[in-house]
Amino acid sequence: MSAGVAPQYCGAPGKRANCQVAVSVHAAADTASCPLRWRLFLPVEWASDTARRALARIPPEVTHREKWRPALDMLDTLAGWGMKPPVVVADAAYGTNAHAFLTEQRLAPKTPGPASLSTRSSTSSRTC
């Protein structure tokens, strides 16, 4: 059994699919990217299903958290290593809390509002 598989937004097809989702922070350049930190996203339906959690060997301390929360934790870890990203890119699945997420990291632009998050999908790039 694969941990965290559920119908949820998946970036590869750009729609909801039965998949696993990882929250990650990458160092990126024009020609390549490299993951610096990543964590498996645990969907809500997995959080209280003790039988499924036991089969997938998910420890009790691992709980469901909105995607932006582990991303913020990872950015905090990187900041502790002396690394502060000049740009943060996330898909729309990070939701309406993205501006608060970026502001807390002091990565938001000087103008308030949701335009601070650049989003990407496999077919387009836009600012939300």
Q: Return the structure tokens found at 7.
A: 């119908």
Q: Quick one: DSSP state of residue 3?
A: T
The pLDDT score that the predictor gives to residue 109 is 44
pTM tops 0.85: no
Distance of alpha carbon 20 from the chain centroid: 12
Domains of the chain, residue spans: 6-127
Residue 27: band (very low, low, confident or very high) from pLDDT cuts 50, 70, 90 = confident
Residue-level pLDDT at 26: 86
Burial of 46 by CB count in 10 Å (0-12 exposed, 13-18 middle, 19+ buried)?
buried
> Does the pLDDT value for residue 128 go beyond 70?
no
* pLDDT recorded at residue 44: 94
Model confidence pLDDT, tens digit, residues 66-124? 888 888 888 888 889 988 877 777 666 565 566 666 666 666 544 444 433 343 333 33
pLDDT one-digit tens code per residue, 31-44: 998 888 989 999 99
Q: Which amino acid is at 30?
A: D
